[in-house]
Amino acid sequence: MKTVQYTIKDELGIHARPAGMLVREAAKFKASIKIAGPNKEVDAKRIMGVMSMGVKKGDTVKLTIEGVDEAEAAAALQKFLQDNL
């Protein structure tokens, strides 16, 4: 199991466009990927779940990745978060 923590720097937090991009990135991997914000944890491959988290600028999210390609997924998602949020 791999974990990735990241503090959101985007002024709007995780809104519709980056949420969709995050879900598409997570869907590339076979591993189970959960994302936890300050209030709840959801499946990172489900757009409605990610958007319902209500993550704002300054909130820290934690990705928990478990499966056959967890190392690759963790690296790719860490880069995605840094580049987009």
Burial of residue 49 (number of CB atoms within 10 Å: 0-12, 13-18, 19+): middle
Query: Which CATH number covers residue 22?
Result: 3.30.1340.10
Q: What pTM was computed for the model?
A: 0.90
- Say if residues 68 and 62 touch (Cβ distance below 8 Å): no
What are the residue numbers of the active site? 15
Could you read off the pLDDT tens digit of each residue along the chain, which spans 85 residues?
999 999 999 999 999 999 999 999 999 999 999 999 998 999 999 999 999 998 999 999 999 999 999 999 999 999 999 999 9
19's CB contacts (< 8 A; 6+ apart) are: 47, 50, 51
Other Cβ atoms less than 10 A from the Cβ of 22: the count is 25
Overall number of domains in the chain: 1
**14: three-class secondary structure by DSSP:** coil
Domain that holds residue 13: 2-84
